Amino acid sequence: QSALTQPASVSGSPGQSITISCTGTNSDIANYNYVSWYQRHPGKAPQLIIYDVNNRPSGVSNRFSGSKSGNTASLTISGLQAEDEADYYCSSYSSFSPLVFGGGTKVTVL
């Protein structure tokens, strides 16, 4: 069982916006602005797409955005495209371990 809770799957049509939630506790998400999000296509290494809650690394599309409220972080993908179909993982700094992860969310583009 993962420390952070994500929905198993989210789907949307091309052009739509979708949001993936990531729920933690007062020991991680609620207490630190160190939430990261990763995109992983099958057979590929994870790619960092959001860090420190709402920052994008250079080269990552501005269609990806992050936010946080209390112990829940969210990743929003706007203008959904076929290439966005992938697994998405959230992670957070934690008081009790170097890192905690969510179980992953499969995004399907209908």
Partner 1 sequence: EVQLVESGGGLIQPGGSLRLSCAVSGFIVSDNYMTWFRQAPGKGLEWVSVIYAGGNIYYADSVMGRFTISRDKSKNTLYLQMNSLRAEDTAMYYCARGRIGGRHDFWGQGTLVTVSS
Do strands 105-109 and 9-12 pair parallel, antiparallel, or not at all (unpaired)? parallel
| Positions in 18-47 near partner 1 (CB under 8 A) | 32-34, 36, 38, 40, 44-47
Comparison of 1 and 17: residue with beta carbon closer to partner 1: 1
Instruction: State which residue, 30 or 48, has the beta carbon closest to partner 1.
Output: 48
Structure tokens at 110: 């209908």
CA distances from 27 to 5, 82, 94 (A): 14, 36, 6
- To which H or E segment does residue 39 belong? strand 35-40
Q: Interacting stretch for partner 1, rule CB under 8 A, among 12-20, 65-73, 76-84, 96-104?
A: 96-104
User: Least distance to partner 1 from the beta carbon of 38, Å?
Assistant: 7
